[in-house]
Structure 1
Amino acid sequence: MFVLELTYTAPVERVDELLEAHREWLDTYYDEGVFIASGRKNPRDGGVILAVGDDRGQIEKIAAADPFVVGEVCAYRITEFHATKTAPALAEYREQMP
């Protein structure tokens, strides 16, 4: 599993110009089952996405295609972790340690 942390690198007004395209990009990966949660940080200086998968390269490729990245308004920090314990509703994402 991956935590994708977005940090805005441009004024929020420029971010807002790309927001609809970003939401469409998010929807694509929700539909594919890659993203399981996302939202803005508070204060609004970026966002967070939880993604499932075991291929960091693929997650990095997905992040690089975010309209926020293409539009040069955010930077990503990607952290991989093993979700060995979850709430019952997330049991399908539970992992064993390698």
Structure 2
Amino acid sequence: MFVVTMTYTAPLVEVAPWRPAHGDWLNDLISRRLLLAAGRQVPSVGGVYLAAGMPVEDLDQILATDPYVLNGVASHSVVEFVPLLVAPGLEDLKL
């Protein structure tokens, strides 16, 4: 499993035009359970995603298709982890 942080690399005025396409991209990944959660950072400097377990190379390929990345207004950082302890009802997140 992965925690992905997305950081804006351009002013918000340059990010804004790509927000609808980025939202569609996130919704597609969530519908396919490639991402399990996504949201904005506070303050608004980017976002955070929880990604399903997969080869890191596959995740890198997915992240490269982010409209924000394609348009040069954001970058991603990836941390892989193994969930050993989970809240009741989230046992399927454990490997």
TM range (shorter): over 0.9
1:86 aligned partner: 86
Runs of 4+ in 1 over 6 A off after TM superposition: none
Secondary structure of the residue aligned to 1:15 is helix
Percent identical among aligned pairs is 36
Question: Partners of 2:87 and 2:72 in 1: how far apart?
Answer: 36
The size of the alignment, in residue pairs, is 95
Alignment of 1:32-47 (within 5 A): 32-47=32-47
Partner amino acid, structure 2, of 1:24: D
Question: For the aligned residues, what is the CA RMSD?
Answer: 0.8
Structure 2: gaps of 5 or more residues: none
1:70 aligned partner: 70
**How high is the TM-score relative to the length of structure 1?**
0.92
Secondary structure of the residue aligned to 2:38 is strand
**How high is the TM-score relative to the length of structure 2?**
0.95
Once the two structures are TM-superposed, the CA of residue 89 in structure 1 deviates from its matched residue by 2.8
Question: Partners of 1:60 and 1:89 in 2: how far apart?
Answer: 29
Partner amino acid, structure 2, of 1:75: S
Partner amino acid, structure 1, of 2:65: A
2:57 aligned partner: 57
Partner amino acid, structure 1, of 2:79: T
* 1:10-32, Cα deviation, whole Å (9 max, x unpaired): 00111111000001000111111
Question: Partners of 2:87 and 2:14 in 1: how far apart?
Answer: 37
Determine if the alignment matches structure 1 residue 12 to structure 2 residue 12.
yes
2:28 aligned partner: 28
Once the two structures are TM-superposed, the CA of residue 54 in structure 1 deviates from its matched residue by 2.5
* 1:12-67, Cα deviation, whole Å (9 max, x unpaired): 11111100000100011111111111111011011100000231001010100000
